[in-house]
Structure 1
Amino acid sequence: MRTRAGISHRSGGSGGDLLLLLHGLGATGAVWDRLLPLVERDWPGSWAVPDLRGHGRSPFEPPYGYAVHAADVASLAAGASRVTVLGHSFGGVVGAVLAGGWYGVDVARVVALGVKIDWTPEEEAGARRMAARPPQVFATAAEAAERHLRLAGLTGLVDPSSEVALAGVRETSGGFTPALDPRAFGAVGPSVEEVLRRVVAPLRLAAGAADPMVGLTVMRRVDPDAVLVEDAGHNAHWEAPDAVWSLLRS
């Protein structure tokens, strides 16, 4: 892992065309591990996989918000001739903000997976309650890993004893805690649809066919050519990495 502007990330490849892989709220960059072999095999430039602020090994330092996360990610793109973004859920929104033309980054394309577009007032209030809660501390790393997987929507998909699960755990003086600052939930609130509509780069929306967060009709309000990834739910990049990679490369 490396750090730039405080943001922990993995990187590889070479060249001016940078691929950014941005994880969702509650997850870490480790959720791209099933896709990375395809990136390393086929991507013609460089790539970077960050832990967003408040997640994984990156700083737990407010403020949190789409624009702040996008500024953090823009620091990773310094020196790139152009940037392609593949973002999941919250990370897709962050990528859309990065592609809004405000950060001096030449974004060639954004592919956003499983972005929850419609939020009810009750859901937004629930996110604010989550942001106000103190971090949960567990006696064992295994318990913290189980909680991390629930927060990331990966329960039943990722082995709780795997390195991917443990990447979402931090050791504290009192035990172990999920590697997520609850205050990061405070980023929820601005209209996601409005953010997506302000993207000045080509935008493709996609979601797993069984994703409970968003469906084709809703996505096509923003992207008339939005698509579904078959045999996948909310974490299509984990469940169907070959299909997601084909979508990005098409």
Structure 2
Amino acid sequence: MLHVERGGNGPLLVLLHGLGATGEVWQDVVAAWPGRWIAPDLPGHGRSGRLERYTFGALAAAVAEEIPNEPATVVGHSLGGVVGLALASGWFGVEVTTAVGVGIKVQWSDEELAKAAALAGKPAKVFETKDEAVERASKMAGVPLRHGVSEVDGGWAPALDMRAFGVGRPDMAGLIMASQAHVVLAAGENDPMSPQEQLRELVPEPVVFPGAGHNVHVESPSSVTALLAQLAT
């Protein structure tokens, strides 16, 4: 079902990418992680299979099947952050000790939800060349991708299942309340999708990465690894 990259030895780190991306976006973070790590392509993304219906629970259940039965720190970006919080509930049989959500969009207007639902109903655009599809996939993800496309009838298309845009609004307060893990919310100082004042409504002291935008794990991976080192002490 899922394509999963793995490596290292020692304490387990699970890395969950955001909507449209793939596990490859964590490559510079895992390079500095001293323990064991896994980085899946979420269902409907990259080299992984698709779901009949996309919900945070369905995504978490699929990821849970790939996580060993041992304590884990989970770091998720945007959509992956919500999936990480769902895993931290314990409902999926995963023992999460710390759940870090980076750049999660915690407030959604009706207009934003309607726009996302409209995108979920659109077919993937097909391009003549792989390079064109890679450019489109990278634009949708907001980060450079190599594994975000697939060959289809008529050419190449982003691998992202457009129906994943319809995952909906996360119940952040409910997920945090249900968490059996230590919860950390973090965002780049200049992240328009995850403003600090909105995060403070959910946790007393969100982590702010100075000078970073929405994709801090790609822009400044050392900021993420420094946070993980701090949490481990």
Shorter chain as denominator, the TM-score bin is over 0.9
Question: Could you tell me which residue of structure 2 aligns to residue 101 of structure 1?
Answer: 90
Question: Could you tell me which residue of structure 1 aligns to residue 121 of structure 2?
Answer: 132
Please tell me whether the aligned partners of residues 62 and 183 of structure 1 are also in contact (alpha carbons under 8 angstroms).
no
- Greater shift after overlay, 87-96 or 187-196? 187-196
Give the whole-Å Cα distance in 1 for the aligned partners of 2:60 and 2:147: 22
Question: Could you tell me which residue of structure 2 aligns to residue 249 of structure 1?
Answer: 229
Q: Tell me how far 1:14 sits from its aligned partner.
A: 3.0
Please tell me whether the aligned partners of residues 82 and 170 of structure 2 are also in contact (alpha carbons under 8 angstroms).
no
Q: Which runs of 5+ in 2 are unaligned?
A: none
Q: Tell me how far 1:223 sits from its aligned partner.
A: 1.3
Percent identity over the alignment? Answer: 44
Q: What do you get for the CA RMSD once the two structures are aligned?
A: 1.3
Give the whole-Å Cα distance in 2 for the aligned partners of 1:195 and 1:129: 26
Q: Tell me how far 1:221 sits from its aligned partner.
A: 1.2
Relative to structure 1, the CA distance from residue 76 to residue 54 in structure 2 (aligned partners, 3 Å threshold; closer, same or farther) is same
Give the whole-Å Cα distance in 1 for the aligned partners of 2:169 and 2:107: 11
Give the whole-Å Cα distance in 1 for the aligned partners of 2:216 and 2:59: 22
Q: Secondary structure at the match of 1:150?
A: helix
Q: Tell me how far 1:186 sits from its aligned partner.
A: 1.4
Q: Tell me how far 1:71 sits from its aligned partner.
A: 0.6
Please tell me whether the aligned partners of residues 106 and 170 of structure 2 are also in contact (alpha carbons under 8 angstroms).
no
Q: Secondary structure at the match of 2:28?
A: coil
Please tell me whether the aligned partners of residues 16 and 23 of structure 2 are also in contact (alpha carbons under 8 angstroms).
yes
Give the whole-Å Cα distance in 1 for the aligned partners of 2:193 and 2:177: 19
Quick one: which amino acid aligns to residue 5 of structure 2?
R
Quick one: which amino acid aligns to residue 210 of structure 1?
N
Give the whole-Å Cα distance in 1 for the aligned partners of 2:177 and 2:107: 14
Q: TM-score, normalised by structure 1?
A: 0.88
Q: TM-score, normalised by structure 2?
A: 0.94
Q: Secondary structure at the match of 1:33?
A: helix
Question: Could you tell me which residue of structure 2 aligns to residue 10 of structure 1?
Answer: 5
The match for 1:236 among 200, 211, 216 is 216
Quick one: which amino acid aligns to residue 11 of structure 1?
R
Q: Secondary structure at the match of 2:176?
A: helix
Give the whole-Å Cα distance in 2 for the aligned partners of 1:34 and 1:169: 21
Quick one: which amino acid aligns to residue 64 of structure 1?
Y
Please tell me whether the aligned partners of residues 141 and 166 of structure 1 are also in contact (alpha carbons under 8 angstroms).
no
Q: Secondary structure at the match of 1:76?
A: coil
Alignment length (residue pairs): 230
Relative to structure 1, the CA distance from residue 89 to residue 144 in structure 2 (aligned partners, 3 Å threshold; closer, same or farther) is same
Quick one: which amino acid aligns to residue 150 of structure 2?
R
